Amino acid sequence: MEKTITDLHIGEKGIIANFCLNNIPLKLLEMGCIPGKEVELVQIAPLNDPLYIIVNGSHIAIRRDVAKLINIY
Neighbours of 16 (CB within 10 A): 20
Categorize the per-residue pLDDT at 5 as very low, low, confident or very high, splitting at 50, 70 and 90. very high
User: What are the tens digits of pLDDT across the range 47-63?
Assistant: 999 999 999 899 999 99
Q: Where do the structural domains in the chain lie, given as residue ranges?
A: 3-72
Categorize the per-residue pLDDT at 66 as very low, low, confident or very high, splitting at 50, 70 and 90. very high
Categorize the per-residue pLDDT at 46 as very low, low, confident or very high, splitting at 50, 70 and 90. very high
With a CB cutoff of 8 Å and minimum separation 6, the contacts of 72 are: 3, 4, 5, 7, 8, 14, 15, 16, 17, 39
Q: What is the pTM of this model?
A: 0.89
Q: What is the fold, at CATH topology level, of the domain defined by 3-72?
A: SH3 type barrels. (2.30.30)
Q: How far is CA 28 from the centre of its chain?
A: 9
User: What are the tens digits of pLDDT across the range 9-29?
Assistant: 999 999 999 887 788 888 998
Task: Determine contact, residues 39/51, Cβ cutoff 8 Å.
Answer: no
